[in-house]
Amino acid sequence: MATTTLDGSATTDSLIALEDAHGAHNYHPLDLVIERAEGAWVWDVEGRRYLDCLSAYSALNQGHRHPRILAALVEQASRVTLTSRAFRNDQLPAFCAELAALCGLDVVLPMNTGAEAVETAIKAARRWGHRVKGIPDGEAEILVFANNFHGRTTTIVGFSTEAAYRDGFGPFAPGFRVLPFGDLDAVRDAMGPRTCAVLFEPIQAEAGILLPPDGFLRGLRALCTERNVLMIADEIQTGLGRTGRTFACDHEGVRPDAYVLGKALSGGFYPVSAVVARRDVLDVFGPGSHGSTFGGNPLGCAVARAALGVLRDERLAERSAELGAWLLRALRGIAHPDVVEVRGRGLLIGMQLRVPARLYCEALQARGVLCKETHDTVIRLAPPLVVGRDDLAWAAEQFAAVFAG
């Protein structure tokens, strides 16, 4: 079997060609090859420096290679990395206790990727609906919203409204009803005796940074309480400081019955996700009913504990609120016929265009700013929450220059 050695002489073009020859073409990345990173900055293989304004879709809220999280990773990796859940480990108890306290809920079920956590929440909601609410087995329904993005498994894409996510992957699992995002009357009308849960993103990030109307989350909380329906918040992208509060639900003073978390839960070092919920929700699982070989492993738990400590001790949610408000004002000051709207909350911002956003993302890349289009006509900005104010001011100048063009 041939072995490829990277000796420092590889170029952007040669590495792209190698990836295109042997890697599946399920992404359309910008054409640069990142070699190293620190804080809010990355460098390509030719040594060019870029400001990362995507943060791996909010997985890097704490920045690249945060020294405190790196130290926790190295220290734990020198002791034990994996036990499986067949045995106990010394990191899982503290991780569960700390994350439950942060969320103000009772029980944590750790997994690895965000999609795994969403699947876990779906299974919990259905079993809760059957065993606690009394819905006949196999008849529970979960309400979801148009333009949702909860992951890429066949169950999840089955209730996506994005045609490209569904094309050719059926048949899909039943049991989901899609409603207009932000429409409380539609939720009220759709809730019936077989509704076990509402699964939602407080802000739809992948859809283009779409915010629901003010009061929607409060109204949703009231409806779920009144109808005995689980309120499940997918805060994989919006949680852990990204929108200027610990969770995006906090902007309306709402606590769901379950959070689905991932991405920044490990600060970009290791896949860690979790469902955090009321005890009666996760107590529907007994031994053998759900699991994961790597979920709750000691390395992931140690990394996640350090990542949560950084968010708390460096007050990154407060930093996101302050810097995000400043950046939103700066970008809204750009007057250009291609710009329809700039919207967002904290350091989660979308610039809606009248034209495909890819060309502007490529122009920004040429000026040293990395961001990515979503839903074709939206530039998504989500820099690490440790980014400097001067760095953001420089990025805003590059945006202004590109649109002055």
Each domain of the chain, given as residue ranges in start order, spans 12-65+315-404, 67-313
pLDDT along the chain (405 residues), means of 10: 60 95 95 97 97 98 98 98 97 98 98 98 98 98 98 98 96 98 98 98 97 98 98 98 98 98 97 98 97 98 98 98 98 97 98 98 98 97 98 98 92
φ and ψ at 67, to 5 degrees?
Answer: -60, -35
**How far is the C-alpha of 206 from the C-alpha of 226, rounded, in Å?**
30
- Give the Cα separation of 371 and 311 in Å (integer): 23
Residues 261, 114: Cα–Cα separation, whole Å: 7
Provide the b/e sequence for 223-250 (b: ≥16 CB within 10 Å): bbeeeebbbbbbbbbbbbbbbbbbbbbb
Q: Name 43's bridge partners.
A: 36, 49
One DSSP character per residue, 194-253 reads TEEEEEE-SSBTTTTSBPPPTTHHHHHHHHHHHHT-EEEEE-TTTTTTTTSSSSGGGGGT
| Catalytic center residues | 149, 234, 263
Which helix (H) or strand (E) element contains residue 27?
none
Residue 357, SS3? coil
The dihedral region occupied by 14, where left means phi > 0, alpha psi between -120 and 50, and beta the remainder, is alpha
- Number of helical H runs and strand E runs in the chain: 14, 15
Sign of dihedral through CA atoms 68, 74, 75, 81?
positive
The pLDDT value given to residue 9:
78
Name the helix (H) or strand (E) containing 45: none
Instruction: Name the amino acid, one letter, at 177.
Output: R
- In this structure, are residues 160 and 149 in contact, taking their beta carbons and an 8 Å threshold? yes
Residue 297 structure tokens: 């492993």
Q: Which residues contact 337 (CB under 8 A, 6 or more apart)?
A: 354
CB 93 within 8 A of CB 108: no
Distance CA 379, CA 382 (A): 10
Do 80 and 314 contact (CB within 8 A), yes or no?
Answer: no
State the pLDDT at residue 6.
Answer: 59
Sign (positive or negative) of CA dihedral 233, 235, 240, 241: negative
Rounded Cα gap, residues 61 and 262, in angstroms: 12
Ranges assigned E (strand) in 55-160: 107-111, 141-145
Which CATH number describes the domain made up of 12-65+315-404?
A: 3.90.1150.10
Give me the phi and psi of 170, to 5 degrees please: -75, 175
CA-CA-CA-CA torsion sign (404, 394, 241, 151): positive
Hey, what's the torsion of the CAs at 295, 297, 302, 304, to 10 degrees?
Answer: -10
**Alpha-carbon Rg for the chain in angstroms:** 21
CATH of 67-313, one of 3.40.50.150, 3.40.50.920, 3.30.1490.100, 3.40.640.10: 3.40.640.10
**Residue 64 DSSP symbol:** B
